[in-house]
């Protein structure tokens, strides 16, 4: 825990020294920038592929990521029900670049969301998944810099998100032919 | 709150249209192209994404909790916007890009299902004219 706080205080000590970095981090940690960017990358993947087979592979990866996100949200909700950790700004004097969220700091929900989506894609599309993992890392590291999460919060959240997407990746094929039926139904209305 | 919802909806819709144009220009789904030129479609896609993002983040303070779209609200809004953007691309773009359809080059063989059936022809000629030769 001492290392956790030390890393937080060290990172947050840079706030106010480089205004351009503070502005960039403020944008990166906003509730809209990274999640929307990740979602747009998934929209792009949904339509990419030079053949129907390639496109279907991408669409199944998007499904993995979406189901993984659902699992991760469920896991975080259950954990928050049993464990509450105050935000770092409650216990320490920090320079905040973000509003003060009232919910539990542990585990970080944005980290769970970001890593669930990125891992779901990375399992079958390494390059795009790598870009998404980098974005998820920026989002979550930025939250530590901005003073709203401890490092252990984002590590735990990221691990939960990644694990949930790995589970979804293994789980969805077990539901066949369900996913294929859904995909074919979407094809009939030009959504896939 | 309602204003933020509509602002985010507009952002997500326009950015999704842009992402779709970028992707289909690379994947060769010509029935969804806004123009006959893939480079122009990519440029339009990038402009739609960049322009809508700039407008959304510059038009208000997005780092405040009041108002705020919670994660599930944001996800639902984005999904709705992406679906509407898909249908707008499938059904509306061919109506405004008739010039392109007249000038379309010889098309590769078409698939038969969903988006793949729009690889070489738009939605409307297929439905209304039964024309398999493309635009």
pLDDT at B31: 86
Residues of A in contact with B74 (CB under 8 A): 31-32, 35-36
On the question of pLDDT at B95 being above 60, the answer is yes
pLDDT in tens, chain A (192 residues): 789 999 999 999 999 999 999 999 999 999 999 999 999 999 999 999 999 999 999 999 999 999 999 999 999 999 999 999 999 999 999 999 999 999 999 999 999 999 999 999 999 999 999 999 999 999 999 999 999 999 999 999 999 999 999 999 999 999 999 999 999 999 999 999
Residue of A nearest to B122 (CA): A190
pLDDT at B62: 85
Task: Give the number of domains in chain B.
Answer: 1
Interface test mutation site (partner B, options A24, A27, A35, A44, max chain B beta carbons within 10 A)? A44
On the question of pLDDT at B69 being above 70, the answer is yes
pLDDT at B36: 85
pLDDT at B124: 75
Residue B134 maps to a domain: no
**Containing domain of residue B14, as a range?**
2-129
Residue B75 maps to a domain: yes
Per the CB < 8 A criterion, the answer to whether A89 and A148 are in contact is yes
Long-range contacts of A151-156 (CB under 8 A, 24+ apart): A151/A4, A151/A7, A151/A8, A152/A1, A152/A4, A152/A106, A153/A85, A153/A105, A153/A106, A153/A107, A153/A108, A153/A111, A154/A108, A154/A110, A154/A111, A155/A111, A156/A106, A156/A107, A156/A108, A156/A111
pLDDT digits (tens, 9 = 90+) for A34-67: 999 999 999 999 999 999 999 999 999 999 999 9
ipTM of the complex: 0.92
Long-range contacts of B59-66 (CB under 8 A, 24+ apart): B59/B7, B60/B4, B60/B7, B62/A30, B62/A31, B62/A32, B62/A33, B63/A26, B63/A29, B63/A30, B63/A31, B63/A97, B63/A98, B63/A99, B64/A99, B65/A99, B65/A101
Q: How far apart are CA B104 and CA B134, in angstroms?
A: 8
Question: Percent of chain B having pLDDT more than 90?
Answer: 49
pLDDT at A2: 87
- In angstroms, the separation between the Cα of residue A108 and the nearest Cα of chain B is 13
**Cβ contact B114–A49 (<8 Å):** no
Residues of B in contact with A99 (CB under 8 A): 63-65
What are phi and psi for residue A140, nearest 5 degrees? -80, -40
Q: Which carries the bigger pLDDT value, residue A185 or residue B112? A: A185
Assess A44–B contact: CB distance below 8 Å, yes or no. Answer: yes
**Cβ contact A44–B22 (<8 Å):** yes
Residue B121 maps to a domain: yes
Interface test mutation site (partner B, options A35, A39, A68, A183, max chain B beta carbons within 10 A)? A39
Binning pLDDT at 50, 70 and 90, where does residue B130 land? very low
Residue A102, CA distances (Å) to A10, A15, A84, B89 in order? 23, 22, 11, 41
pLDDT at B109: 54
**Cβ contact B118–A190 (<8 Å):** yes
Interface test mutation site (partner A, options B53, B63, B65, max chain A beta carbons within 10 A)? B63
pLDDT at B103: 54
Give the burial class of B71: count Cβ atoms within 10 A of its Cβ; 0-12 exposed, 13-18 middle, 19 or more buried.
Answer: middle
Give the A:B interface size as CB pairs under 8 Å: 102
Assess B95–A contact: CB distance below 8 Å, yes or no. Answer: no
Binning pLDDT at 50, 70 and 90, where does residue B64 land? confident
Rg of chain A over Cα atoms, rounded to whole angstroms, equals 18
**Cβ contact A32–B56 (<8 Å):** yes
Q: Which carries the bigger pLDDT value, residue B37 or residue A64? A: A64
Residue B135 maps to a domain: no
Residue B91 maps to a domain: yes
Q: Please state which of the ranges A5-19, A32-46, B42-56, B82-96 shows the lowest mean pLDDT.
A: B82-96
Binning pLDDT at 50, 70 and 90, where does residue B126 land? low
Assess A99–B contact: CB distance below 8 Å, yes or no. Answer: yes
**Cβ contact B65–A47 (<8 Å):** no
Q: Please state which of the ranges A162-176, B27-41, B94-108 shows the lowest mean pLDDT.
A: B94-108
């Amino acid at each position: 825990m001492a290392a956790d706080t030390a890393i937080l205080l060290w990172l947050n000590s840079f706030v106010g020294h480089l205004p351009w970095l503070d502005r960039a981090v403020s944008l990166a940690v906003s509730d809209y920038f990274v999640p929307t960017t990740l979602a747009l990358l998934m929209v792009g993947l949904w339509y990419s592929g030079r053949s129907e087979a390639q496109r279907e592979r991408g669409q199944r990866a998007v499904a993995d990521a979406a189901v993984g996100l659902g699992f991760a949200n469920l896991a975080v909700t259950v954990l928050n029900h049993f464990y509450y950790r105050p935000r770092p700004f409650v216990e320490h004097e920090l320079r905040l670049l973000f509003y003060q969220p009232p919910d539990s700091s542990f585990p970080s929900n944005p980290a769970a969301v970001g890593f669930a989506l990125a891992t779901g894609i990375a399992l079958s599309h390494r390059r795009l998944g790598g870009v998404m993992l980098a974005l998820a890392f920026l989002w979550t590291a930025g939250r530590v810099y901005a003073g709203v999460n401890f490092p252990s919060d984002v590590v735990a959240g990221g691990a939960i998100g990644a694990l949930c997407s790995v589970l979804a990746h293994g789980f969805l094929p077990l539901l066949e032919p369900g996913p294929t039926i859904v995909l074919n139904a979407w094809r009939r209305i030009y959504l896939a | 709150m309602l204003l933020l919802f509509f602002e985010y909806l507009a952002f997500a819709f326009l950015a999704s249209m842009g992402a779709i144009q970028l992707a289909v220009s690379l994947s060769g789904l010509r029935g969804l192209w806004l123009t006959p030129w893939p480079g122009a479609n990519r440029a339009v896609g990038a402009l739609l994404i960049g322009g809508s993002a700039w407008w959304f983040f510059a038009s208000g303070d997005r780092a405040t909790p009041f108002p705020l779209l919670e994660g599930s609200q944001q996800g639902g809004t984005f999904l709705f916007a992406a679906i509407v953007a898909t249908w707008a691309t499938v059904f509306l773009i061919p109506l405004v890009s008739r010039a392109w359809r007249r000038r379309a080059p010889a098309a590769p063989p078409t698939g038969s299902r969903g988006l793949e059936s729009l690889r070489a022809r738009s939605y409307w000629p297929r439905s209304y004219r039964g024309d398999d030769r493309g635009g």
